Amino acid sequence: MIVTVGNTKGGVGKTTLAVNLAIARALAGKDVWLIDGDRQGTAQAAISIRSEAGHTPGIACATYPDGPTLRAQVQQQVGKFDEVIIDAGGRDSTALRAALVLSDVLLVPFQPRSYDVWALSDIAALIDEARSVRDGLRCYAVLNCADPGQTSSDNAEAAAAVAEVPQFEYLPAPLRRRKAFANAAGAGQCVFELKPQDAKASAELNALIEILF
């Protein structure tokens, strides 16, 4: 299974989410390959920190910000892994376009802000292009860094706006604005590994994983 965490808009928390997902799946016993498709290399840096700290399990990670290289490497090596998580985007890039054609699932994190919701139309156009050459791409939008309140009007309005973008299915598993997610990823860890553990953050990530996988 190949999952791309991507968005043409930056600052939505895609790398934090991709790192948490990859490590969580490895902790579940899956052989996971994390691909950093962003020239900033943040996901690769997080996994390097994990390796240097001696955390287990180790995570295979490679950086391919160039679309043709990403496509060729995934096609050659995908059979070696149970799951591939690709962190791509922040803008319309060749890596993001390649990832869309290769993936089974596109997970688009967005925040409850007008700019984030408006930007969904940009990646929706790329989804249409990818689906013209690749059948079966499933596309989900998930609210990331959601307002902590369970009944936040901003969260509800953002979720409702996604319903107006037919390329996406909205996942009812929001990740709220919690320091645990960023703190974990910055240390090359998943929220499941933090001590002390943030039970709410762990429950939110687990709910998303149960839907995706």
**pLDDT, tens digit (0-9, with 9 covering 90-100), for 188-206:** 999 999 999 999 999 999 9
In the structure, what pLDDT confidence band is assigned to residue 150 with cuts at 50, 70 and 90?
A: low
Q: Which two tokens stand for residue 136?
A: 């079966």
CB 189 within 8 A of CB 50: yes
Look up the domain containing 152 and give its range: 2-212
In the structure, what pLDDT confidence band is assigned to residue 149 with cuts at 50, 70 and 90?
A: low
Cα separation, 56 vs 186, in Å, equals 16
- Work out how many domains the chain is built from and give that number: 1
The answer, yes or no, to whether the previous bond of 57 is cis (omega within 30 of 0) is yes
Q: What mean pLDDT value characterizes the chain?
A: 92
Residues 28-50 have a mean pLDDT of 96
Least confident of 53-62, 108-117, 146-155: 146-155
Cα separation, 26 vs 149, in Å, equals 31
Residues 69-97 have a mean pLDDT of 95
CATH of the domain at 195: 3.40.50.300
- Residue 176's pLDDT is 92
- Residue 84's pLDDT is 98
In the structure, what pLDDT confidence band is assigned to residue 163 with cuts at 50, 70 and 90?
A: confident
- Give the side-chain half-sphere CA count within 13 A for 36: 19
Distance of CA 213 to the CA centre of its chain: 13
pLDDT(151) > 70? no
Of residues 164 and 61, the one with the higher pLDDT is 61
pLDDT(153) > 80? no
Residue of 69, 79, 99, 75 lying closest to 87 (CA atoms): 99
- Residue 159's pLDDT is 77
List Cβ neighbours of 177 (8 Å cut-off, separation of 6 or more).
145, 146, 147, 148
Residue of 2, 7, 5 lying closest to 165 (CA atoms): 7
- DSSP-H helix ranges across the chain: 14-27, 42-53, 67-77, 94-102, 114-131, 153-162, 179-186, 199-212
pLDDT(99) > 90? yes
